[in-house]
């Protein structure tokens, strides 16, 4: 069994998405664990890691998400576990989940250093489990170059325990290859793929928004898989909104107060993925009926429009298990741009 530790140089590099793509198209039997959780999800009165729950849902794994993560909070884990306990628990988890599998994927924390005080950072995981680190560096060309050169300077990337580096979310792959790739390879970095940035992977689904906003679904439940491409705040008059270019773009998400019936009707008559009703105000029944007929979800929250907009604006567009198109795209990107055999075999 090969053990691969998926690590990232910084938060939001796209590590989990690439991991899903590798699992989707790798052609191997695999297990998955994430020893140190960093996205707490409270479900069924238990603490799960979001990524652990996502991977088990997408691929129908037998493992309970709670059993493939040791913990979240550093101080609580130091209280519950000794260093020896952490190593023993990690060994037992890897042995159980990896039994009979070709590959065991071990997902590291949100960056290369997360969990170091517990011995659960990505490099410590690789050293203890005898695995190979695959490092994901994502962002602008300058960010990627800085990250790779920093890693090259302070980490032995020539060792057998370092599999290579995936460059992710690259705006112009052809330009990056012609200008920077030779420099990286000359430095000794083993590049396992250059994956282009895809705007489609930054879009929300209505089910994800409802979950993150703790919103009540009033109508249009059949449209919860709708993808949101643009966000429009309906704080102005309806006439002004109709003249606004963003309001007339495809697959928009409207945020407005529940008493703005005119604005809601206008959104239902246009290309709208969903509507968030604020201030805990219920719209008239005819609006609920129209939304259900058009499969446009109506979500209700108690917060005001300003607070809701701030929350949506700060959200990271995480992958969801019901977004089949996005999962398929990740598989295709991995198959096309990654050196799958070098990573998995």
- Domains, the chain, in order of start with CATH, read 2-201+321-344 (3.40.50.300), 204-313 (3.40.1390.20)
* Structure confidence by residue, pLDDT tens digits, 145-160: 999 999 988 888 777 7
Asked if pLDDT for residue 266 goes beyond 90, the answer is yes
* Structure confidence by residue, pLDDT tens digits, 51-67: 999 999 999 999 999 99
pLDDT (0 to 100) of residue 4: 97
Judge whether 105 and 63 are in contact, CB under 8 Å.
no
Cα end-to-end distance, the chain, whole Å = 10
Secondary structure string (H, E, C) spanning 249-298: CCCEEEEEECCCHHHHHHHHCCCEEEEEEECCCCCCHHHHHHHHHHCCCE
Q: Could you tell me the pLDDT band of residue 168, with boundaries at 50, 70 and 90?
A: very high
pTM equals 0.86
* Structure confidence by residue, pLDDT tens digits, 230-241: 999 998 888 888
And the tokens for 139?
Answer: 């962002």
DSSP labels, 106-164: EE--SSTTTTGGGT-SHHHHHHHHT-EEEEEEESSHHHHHHHHHHHHHHS-TTSTTEEE
Helices 15-25 and 50-59 pack at an angle, to 10 degrees, of 20
- Grouping H, G, I as helix, E, B as strand and the rest as coil, residue 83 is helix
Placement of tokens 């198109």 in the chain: 325
pLDDT (0 to 100) of residue 44: 67
Mean pLDDT over residues 289-303, rounded? 97
């Amino acid at each position: 069994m090969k053990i691969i530790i998926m690590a990232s140089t910084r938060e939001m590099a796209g590590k989990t998405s690439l991991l899903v793509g590798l699992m989707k198209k790798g052609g191997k039997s695999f297990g998955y664990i994430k020893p140190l959780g960093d996205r707490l999800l409270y479900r069924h009165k238990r603490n799960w890691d979001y990524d652990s729950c996502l991977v088990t849902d997408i691929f129908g794994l037998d493992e309970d998400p709670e059993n493939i993560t040791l913990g979240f909070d550093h101080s609580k884990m130091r209280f519950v576990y000794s260093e020896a306990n952490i190593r023993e628990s990690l060994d037992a988890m890897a042995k159980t989940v990896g039994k009979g599998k070709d590959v065991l994927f071990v997902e590291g924390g949100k960056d290369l250093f997360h969990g170091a005080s517990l011995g659960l950072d990505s490099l410590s995981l690789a050293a203890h489990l005898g695995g190979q680190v695959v490092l994901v560096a994502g962002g602008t060309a300058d960010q990627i170059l800085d990250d790779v050169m920093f890693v090259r300077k302070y980490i032995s990337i020539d060792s057998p325990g370092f599999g290579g580096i995936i460059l992710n979310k690259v705006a112009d792959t052809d330009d990056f290859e012609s200008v920077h790739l030779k420099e990286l390879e000359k430095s000794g970095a083993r590049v396992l793929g250059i994956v282009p940035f895809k705007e489609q992977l930054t879009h929300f689904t209505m089910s994800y928004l409802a979950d993150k906003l703790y919103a009540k679904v009033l109508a249009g439940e059949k449209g919860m898989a709708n993808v949101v491409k643009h966000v429009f705040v309906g704080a102005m008059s309806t006439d002004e909104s109709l003249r606004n270019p963003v309001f007339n773009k495809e697959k928009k998400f409207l945020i407005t107060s529940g008493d703005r019936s005119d604005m809601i009707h206008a959104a239902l008559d246009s290309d709208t993925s969903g509507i968030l009703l604020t201030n805990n105000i219920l719209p008239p029944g005819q609006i609920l009926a129209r939304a259900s007929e058009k499969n446009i979800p109506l979500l209700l929250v108690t917060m005001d429009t300003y607070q809701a907009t701030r929350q949506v604006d700060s959200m990271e567009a995480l992958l969801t298990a019901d977004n089949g198109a996005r999962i398929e795209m990740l598989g295709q990107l991995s198959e096309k741009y990654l050196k799958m055999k070098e990573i998995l075999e």
